[in-house]
Amino acid sequence: MMTTFKLLVFALLAVPAFAFSAEKIVEVSASGATKEQAIEAGLVRAIAQVKGISIDSDTLRIANQVRVNGESNTSVAMSSVTAMKTKGLISNYEVLESECFDSCEVFLRVTVPVYKSPGLSTDRRRKLVVIPFAGEHGKRFSDSLQSALVQARRFAVLDREHNSEYEAEKRLLMSSDTALEEKMRLGQVLGVDYLVVGSVSFEDNSFQGTSSYTGESSYVEDMRSEVSYKVINLATRQVKWQDTVLIEEHVNNPFVAQTISRSITGAIYPMKIVSNKNATVVLNQGGTSVMVGEKYDVFKLGEKLIDPYTKESLGREEIYIGQVQVNKVTSKVAYAIALESDVNAMAVGSIVRPSAATSQAVHATPVVQSTVRPSAEGGILLPLPAKNEPKASPEGGVLINK
């Protein structure tokens, strides 16, 4: 008959309750050659249930050489050896039952502390890393793009640049100078879902001209930025989104990064209406990604669309309802009033997309030229080669390119 007793043990692994914001209690059974080994196996199993385990399986070759009737005979046995590795701490454990005959069996109740990272949970956000873009201005542009994506509050944007600083802090946490409860911060690094990679190029043909009639000098600004980028699914290496954007602005202008951020965010998380009250609609995006005065087109969702070739979902039909204009922006949301149609027709869940005609006026920048243009019949329309139009001469007439 199994002897039942309760023994609450606060071992050297004990962790103060204030060191973590949550804890999980699990009950496990385990066996071992001795009671101590059984308890140890049970503690490992408890941590594995909460934190998971990594398993390394190797094949061990055992060779035995035996001499029979003067002849040598070698027998080879193959054995699979599995090693389990767990990472975690134990606040306390309680031995509920134990029994020892040829071997020992124990039944434990184990309390495992769980570290909760401060701030909002990233469980429902897709993880993304912006890799420094190629090009002379690539690093600065990447920083601006990362800032814009953080402001959009749609992704968990991860850092992969400050590795030396991270490693220094990690060594400190692993040292004997750090309290045991502080070590729970280890092993919390997140993996990414998407990589954003690309390149930028910038051409500045601006010049200072002088009129031959008045003698006055004038500065003619002629800048052009080209940004090519891809959004790659890390697990499959599938290119989820790709585009090349041409903008007649300096590549370091925040508007350029904001344009790319909107394109990425809109492709994965289109903006939506989350509230409709008192003739005002609330959009689920704010910060620097939305500006007062901007106009947006509102669409209601129709029937689901299926690609006839791949049978994949193409989303839902988007039916134009009207247009709204932003009149207030907070860090998380934006407020807008209806310019067209009845605001009551703009139901919660309606899709909201930037109005291309008004984006230029708000930012005082030229219209963004993208090489990817959707066609009403499906697919995309490729741009035609640019024509070399004659340029006006400061002295009058036109300049003919030879």
Q: What is the pLDDT of residues 264-282, one digit of tens each?
A: 888 888 899 999 988 899 9
Of 11-25, 295-309, 314-328, the least confident: 11-25
Region 221-250 average pLDDT = 88
For β-strands 280-283 and 223-233, DSSP reports them as unpaired
pLDDT at 6 over 70: no
134 falls in which pLDDT band (50, 70, 90)? Answer: very high
The residue among 212 and 331 whose pLDDT is bigger is 331
Q: Which of 1-10, 200-209, 285-294 has the lowest mean pLDDT?
A: 1-10
Per-residue pLDDT, 116: 76
The larger pLDDT score, comparing residue 211 to residue 189, is at 189
Q: What is the mean pLDDT of residues 155-172?
A: 89
Locus of tokens 């040829």: 102
> What would the mean pLDDT of 282-290 be, rounded to a whole number?
87
Q: What pLDDT does 173 receive?
A: 85
Domain boundaries, the chain: 3-114, 121-269, 271-371
Mean pLDDT of 254-271: 86
The token duo for 142 is 């990447």
Could you report the per-residue pLDDT of 17-56, keeping only the tens digit for each?
Answer: 444 457 788 898 999 888 888 888 888 888 888 776 554 5
Fold of 271-371: Thrombin, subunit H (2.40.10)
Query: What pLDDT, on the 0 to 100 scale, is given for residue 333?
Result: 92
Q: Read off the pLDDT of each residue in 293-318 and give the average, rounded to a whole number.
A: 89
User: Between 336 and 250, where is the model more confident?
Assistant: 336
Q: Note the pLDDT of residue 202.
A: 86
* CATH H-level superfamily of 121-269: Lipoprotein like domain (3.30.160.150)
Categorize the per-residue pLDDT at 170 as very low, low, confident or very high, splitting at 50, 70 and 90: confident
pLDDT average, residue stretch 107-135:
83
How many C-alpha atoms does 180 have within 13 Å on its Cβ side?
12
| Average pLDDT of the residues of the chain | 76
Predicted confidence at residue 267, as pLDDT, reads 80
What percent of the chain is predicted at pLDDT more than 90? 22
| CA quadruple 141, 143, 146, 148: dihedral, nearest 10 | -70
Q: What per-residue confidence (pLDDT) applies to 121? A: 67
The predicted pLDDT at position 47 comes to 82
pLDDT tens digits for range 347-386: 999 999 888 654 443 333 344 445 444 443 444 444 444 4
Angle at 166 between CA 85 and CA 47, to 5 degrees: 25
- Residue 186: pLDDT band with limits 50, 70, 90: confident
Checking if the pLDDT of 179 tops 80, the result is no
The more confident residue out of 313 and 219 is: 313
> What number is the average pLDDT over the span 211-231?
82
Higher pLDDT, 365 or 287: 287
Across 323-333, average pLDDT = 92
pTM above threshold 0.75:
no
pLDDT tens column, 75-120: 444 444 444 445 567 778 888 999 998 889 999 998 887 777 776 6
Confidence of residue 394 (pLDDT cuts 50, 70, 90): low
Q: Which band of pLDDT confidence, cut at 50, 70 and 90, is reported for residue 132?
A: very high
Q: Can you give the pLDDT at residue 21?
A: 56
Mean pLDDT of 343-349: 88
